[in-house]
Structure 1
Amino acid sequence: MHERVAVRGPAAGSLPILLAVVFVDMLGFSIILPLLPFYAETFGASPAVVGLLVASYAAAQLVGAPLLGGLSDRFGRRPVLVLSILGTAAGFVLFGLAGSLTVLFASRVIDGLTGGNISVAQAYVADVSEPAQRARNFGLIGAAFGLGFVIGPALGGFLSRWGYALPAFLAAGMATLNAVAVWIALPESLPAERRRGGATAAPRAGGRAATAEGAEDGTGRPQAAAGATTSRPPSAFRHLWAGDRAGGLLWLRFYFALAFVTFQTIFALWSQYHLGLDAEKTGYVLGYIGVLIVLVQGGLVGMVARRFREERVLVTCIVVMAGGLAAWAFAPNVPVLLVTLVPLAASGGVFRAVATSALSAAVAADEVGAALGAATSLESLTRALAPSIGGVLLEHYGTWAPGLFGTAVLVLLLPYAIGALRRPRPAGAQAGARADAEGRRTDPPAAEGGVGA
């Protein structure tokens, strides 16, 4: 059997560099997370205003993520990564210098507009990954994010002993160095001929060139005719109403995220009211969740993606998450809680990586950044909606209500998911599907596009 490689193309050796960049990016972001409510209160912010401050970042990312993804399709991944990271650094500097609540809001909006670069990093992975290894590599990106999130809040809490500005300035310095590292060490992954508005790729050594509309170039994604230029609308959101496979995957990402993010955003409040945990103990549990995410994204995703069809994996994750949220809702003590968090972290991590991989393969090569930006934007929308939904449910119905809300969303999503995943793949994605199948050892054959038994 031939040996499979994880990445390809001129930027094939750049994945470790990108993982380091993503880790530092998330480390800088998460350093200021535990400081936000306390810093805002020094300017007289009420709990409601603190909630708006948190939501302002998600709202700005809702706008910024698809713009950054689309720009990376047109101008390349590296310059957009550099500019977005520098924007994040500017937001951190403004955060540290904030002398009023208005400036604090401005810093979060700037960071949100430029902080949607996760979609650009994911598009970079899609550019350089072989189809059979794409989900595994998306999992590694998730692991780098998770590791940064484990370390960042603890570091930020420690540095806050010397004031709230110091962690922000450290994060700004890290972001600046990160931008320099991207510019110097990270090669461009999207050649000019594959960018939106440019000619399609010419034949590559050992690869295939597109020769007709709907053909493929070895990436597992459809390409335009050779020498042609693209004229598709810049917004990837059109897939939501197109009834195609990409649209189905975007809707799955949105509703799955709504259920999972409700759990994430209400967890601290749930821990206080349901189990009586204080801030320190809740922090330890959140650290435990971070470790689980790193383990899942770094190891489990690749194993599952190699052995099973993506349709089966996504449907299974929805079922497991629905059961896990129901179990979380009624967890009677911390030991039981720690057990219920395992399937939640596993299904959440695997679903995100595999769904991202599937979405990147369901659109044309020059639309990957925009499509992943749209997915990030939709998830940002859930982060603006979920805290309010979870808070109202917990206050008016009880601590069990947010968990059962998530379960209900996923149960209702399941029939739609089965139908959406049966939608045909784009013509050029068939080769990608065959390449994925080569990496599996145990999953039996199934009809193209089907969910499987």
Structure 2
Amino acid sequence: MNRRTETTEETSRASVSPQINSAEQRKRTQIIYVVYLIGALDITWMFLQFSVTPYLAKKLGFDTLWFGYLQTTVGVIQLFGGPLFGRFADLFGARVALSLACSATVVFFLLLAIAEHPAMLFIHKLPTVFMHVLSACQMVVADLSEPEHRADALSKLGLCFGFGMIAGSTLGGHLNTRYGETFTACFGAVGSAFSLLLVLKFIPKNTKVQASRTNADSENKNKSVFNMGEITRLMKFPGVVQTFVVKIVAGLPSGIFQVMFSIIALEFFKLRPEQNGYLMAYFGIVQMVVQGGVIGRLTARYSDNSLLLLSIGVSALVGLCQAYMQNVFQFCLTVVPMMFSLSVFSVITDSMLTKSVPSSDTGTMLGLCASVQSLLRTVGPTVGGFLYVNYGISCIGLIQFFVNFGVFVYLLQRHLKKTTEQTA
């Protein structure tokens, strides 16, 4: 009788366990889908803001130089805010971090709505130190996805980025034209408040998979968000420094081109505002196709190192094409490989870096990754402006070709050497 009872209990446990695992997996998938929605909405509000700030700055007397200072201010603020926000997310959980980021976005838009003095445009940028909604979304996706599927899951956020780029640019243009900058900024504040409600409703307090280990690690850590030792400690893990150096060096030339594109479109291609809008929509569509339909298939078949080499090699060829392009049609032909290289490079390097550290530190690592983009936005306008004014667009393209080609050769040699050592 006891044996039958034990057998029955073991059978019931065996049947319940897969159901629990399946239910947990469905719950994680639901949370990830909500995170994708939050990311898409955040990008929509940000591109909506892009249709307000330039026109408002012009009304308040900003010239090109001062508008550049305004953009650099954002880069500097987010450069330091990224790692701190990432560590904040690791210490206090996903819901608190996303709530802080969405709340900062609401304040950002409210300050923009009441900006009636040039100084207010700088003041309304201060909340950007906490405005890392997309980084927080990446943290949640990294926590809830399996390592082998992480690159694919992160790439879907790029699909959300493309959707937000198209929706935000279109919506912002129409609202600004019909109702003015103040109404558009208030609309962005209301939209950000809706994103905050989604966070409070659907995002759990903690999304770390290894909760027990995370809690143990947290007890041993210094709880201070400003503990730079805990942030820089991640650089000691194998492969992290090399990947970071590659991310900065190979990403800088293409980052300079992206920062300077608005000037290039205006002065080199002579595009009118509506034509520039169509081109931005084209960017968004290409990015959605690459992020949603290409990267997932590639990551399922090829290793991260192989895809990193591919993205850098394609980026070198794109730089060479950009150096010799003469019109907007030729540029449109380079957009597809350009968006492919940028998307694969960003997703793969982020994925590699989060896999190199414990799950309890993925937020801090993604915060450091976000700081790389902020660094590019900080130095890009100065370096890009100097190169464009003195040497033209061809110089920017050639620098991208030579830098990425050099990085490609270096990584290829290391890859071949490692392969030879493994087979020996």
For residues 330-363 of structure 1, the C-alpha deviation after alignment (integer angstroms, 9 at most, x for no partner) is 2223332211111000111111112111111111
1:34 and 2:48 matched: no
Q: Secondary structure of 1:363's match?
A: coil
CA–CA separation in structure 1 for the residues paired with 2:304 and 2:252: 21
CA gap 1:109/1:406 in 2 versus in 1, 3 angstroms: farther
For residues 184-225 of structure 1, the C-alpha deviation after alignment (integer angstroms, 9 at most, x for no partner) is 12224535974897226xxxxxxxxxxxxxxxxxxxxxxx9x
CA–CA separation in structure 2 for the residues paired with 1:239 and 1:188: 24
Name whichever structure is richer in helix by fraction.
2
Q: Residue 21 of structure 1 aligns with which residue?
A: 38
1:385 and 2:379 matched: yes
Amino acid at match of 1:274: F
Q: Residue 255 of structure 2 aligns with which residue?
A: 261
CA–CA separation in structure 1 for the residues paired with 2:90 and 2:109: 27
Amino acid at match of 1:158: H
1:399 and 2:393 matched: yes
Q: Residue 288 of structure 2 aligns with which residue?
A: 294
For residues 281-300 of structure 1, the C-alpha deviation after alignment (integer angstroms, 9 at most, x for no partner) is 22211211111111111111
Amino acid at match of 2:269: L
1:179 and 2:196 matched: yes
Q: Please, which moves more after superposition, 405-414 or 100-109?
A: 405-414
Q: CA deviation at 1:169?
A: 0.8
CA gap 1:271/1:282 in 2 versus in 1, 3 angstroms: same
CA gap 1:196/1:106 in 2 versus in 1, 3 angstroms: farther
Q: Residue 323 of structure 2 aligns with which residue?
A: 329
CA contact (8 A) 1:262 1:406 kept: no
1:317 and 2:317 matched: no
Q: Residue 76 of structure 1 aligns with which residue?
A: 93
Amino acid at match of 1:178: S
Q: Residue 359 of structure 1 aligns with which residue?
A: 353
CA–CA separation in structure 2 for the residues paired with 1:413 and 1:187: 41
Cα RMSD of the aligned pairs, angstroms, is 2.7
Q: Secondary structure of 1:244's match?
A: coil
1:236 and 2:215 matched: no
CA contact (8 A) 1:88 1:172 kept: yes
1:341-356 map, 5 Å: 341-356=335-350
Corresponding residue to 1:56 among 54, 67, 73: 73
Structure showing greater Rg: 2
Identity across the alignment (%): 26
CA gap 1:254/1:9 in 2 versus in 1, 3 angstroms: farther
Q: Residue 158 of structure 1 aligns with which residue?
A: 174
Amino acid at match of 2:345: F
CA–CA separation in structure 2 for the residues paired with 1:177 and 1:94: 18
Q: CA deviation at 1:88?
A: 1.1
CA contact (8 A) 2:106 2:188 kept: yes
CA contact (8 A) 2:255 2:376 kept: yes
Q: Residue 136 of structure 1 aligns with which residue?
A: 152
CA contact (8 A) 1:11 1:189 kept: no
For residues 245-302 of structure 1, the C-alpha deviation after alignment (integer angstroms, 9 at most, x for no partner) is 1222222222233122212111232233333323322221121111111111111110
Q: Would you say how many aligned residue pairs link Structure 1 and Structure 2? A: 396
Q: Residue 140 of structure 2 aligns with which residue?
A: 124
CA contact (8 A) 1:293 1:345 kept: yes
Corresponding residue to 1:198 among 204, 215, 231: 215
Amino acid at match of 1:101: P
CA gap 1:334/1:92 in 2 versus in 1, 3 angstroms: same
Q: Residue 111 of structure 2 aligns with which residue?
A: 94
1:147 and 2:163 matched: yes
Q: CA deviation at 1:11?
A: 2.9
1:115 and 2:131 matched: yes
CA–CA separation in structure 1 for the residues paired with 2:231 and 2:420: 28
Q: Residue 277 of structure 2 aligns with which residue?
A: 283
CA contact (8 A) 1:92 1:172 kept: yes
Q: Residue 14 of structure 2 aligns with which residue?
A: none
Q: Secondary structure of 2:216's match?
A: coil
CA–CA separation in structure 1 for the residues paired with 2:213 and 2:70: 35
What TM-score do the two structures reach when normalised by structure 1? Answer: 0.81
CA–CA separation in structure 2 for the residues paired with 1:420 and 1:368: 26
Q: CA deviation at 1:9?
A: 8.4
CA contact (8 A) 2:234 2:357 kept: no
Q: Secondary structure of 1:320's match?
A: helix
Structure 2: which 5+ runs fail to align? 1-21
